Amino acid sequence: MKKTKVLITGAGGFIGHHLVKFLQNKGYWVRGVDIKKPEYEKTTAEDFKLLDLRTREKALKAVTGVDEVYNLAANMGGIGFIETHKAEIVHDNILINMHMLEASRLARVKKFLFTSSACIYPGYKQKSADVAPLKEEDAYPADAEDGYGWEKLYTERACRHYMEDYGLRTYSVRFHNIYGPLGTYDGGREKSPAAICRKISLAKTVDEIEVWGDGLQTRSYCYIDDCIEGLYRLMQSGFHEPLNLGTDRLVTINELVDIVAGIAGKKINKRYDLAKPQGVRGRNSDNTLLRQVLKWEPQVSLEAGLKRTYEWIKEQLTKQG
Ligand code: NAD
pLDDT tens-place string over residues 174-232: 999 999 999 999 999 999 999 999 999 999 999 999 999 999 999 999 999 999 999 99
pLDDT higher than 90, residue 321: no
CATH topology of domain 180-220+249-287+300-316: UDP-galactose 4-epimerase; domain 1 (3.90.25)
Amino acid occupying residue 125: K
Classify the C-alpha dihedral 218-189-225-308 as positive or negative: negative
Spacing of C-alpha 53 from chain mean position: 18
4 class by beta-carbon count within 10 Å (0-12 exposed, 13-18 middle, 19+ buried)? middle
Beta strand pairing call for 47-50 and 178-179: unpaired
For residues 62 and 51, what is the distance between their CA atoms, to the nearest angstrom? Answer: 8
- Closest residue to atom 8 of ligand 1, CA basis: 13
5-178+222-245 classified as CATH 3.90.960.10:
no
State mean pLDDT over 150-172: 98
Write the DSSP string, 159-181: HHHHHHHH--EEEEEEE--EE-T
The alpha-helical segments, DSSP class H, found in the chain are 14-25, 56-63, 79-82, 86-106, 148-166, 192-202, 224-236, 253-264, 288-294, 302-320
Going by the DSSP 8-state scheme, the letter that residue 132 receives in this structure is: P
State mean pLDDT over 143-157: 98
pLDDT at 113: 98
Residue-wise pLDDT for 42-100, tens only, equals: 999 999 999 999 999 999 999 999 999 999 999 999 999 999 999 999 999 999 999 99
120 pLDDT tier (thresholds 50, 70, 90): very high
Ligand 1 midpoint to CA 10 (Å): 6
pLDDT higher than 90, residue 29: yes
pLDDT higher than 90, residue 318: yes
Q: What is the CA radius of gyration of the chain?
A: 19
Taking alpha carbons only, the member of 104, 115, 232, 116 closest to residue 167 is: 104
- Would the CB of 228 count as within 6 Å of ligand 1? no
Please name every residue paired with 6 in a beta bridge, in sequence order, or none if there are none: 30, 68
- Closest residue to atom 32 of ligand 1, CA basis: 72
pLDDT higher than 90, residue 110: yes
Residue-wise pLDDT for 250-268, tens only, equals: 999 999 999 999 999 999 9
pLDDT at 1: 80
pTM of the full structure: 0.98
Point out the residues that are catalytic: 148
130 C-beta neighbours (distance < 10 Å), count: 9
Among 34, 154, 245, residue to substitute to test ligand 1 (most atoms within 8 Å of Cβ): 34
Please name every residue paired with 222 in a beta bridge, in sequence order, or none if there are none: 178
**Mean of all residue pLDDT scores within the chain:** 97
pLDDT at 28: 98
* Within this chain, domains 5-178+222-245 and 180-220+249-287+300-316 share the same CATH topology: no
- Would the CB of 36 count as within 6 Å of ligand 1? yes
- Would the CB of 58 count as within 6 Å of ligand 1? no
- Would the CB of 115 count as within 6 Å of ligand 1? yes
What does the domain layout of the chain look like in residue ranges? Answer: 5-178+222-245, 180-220+249-287+300-316
- Closest residue to atom 28 of ligand 1, CA basis: 72
Residue-wise pLDDT for 132-141, tens only, equals: 999 999 999 9
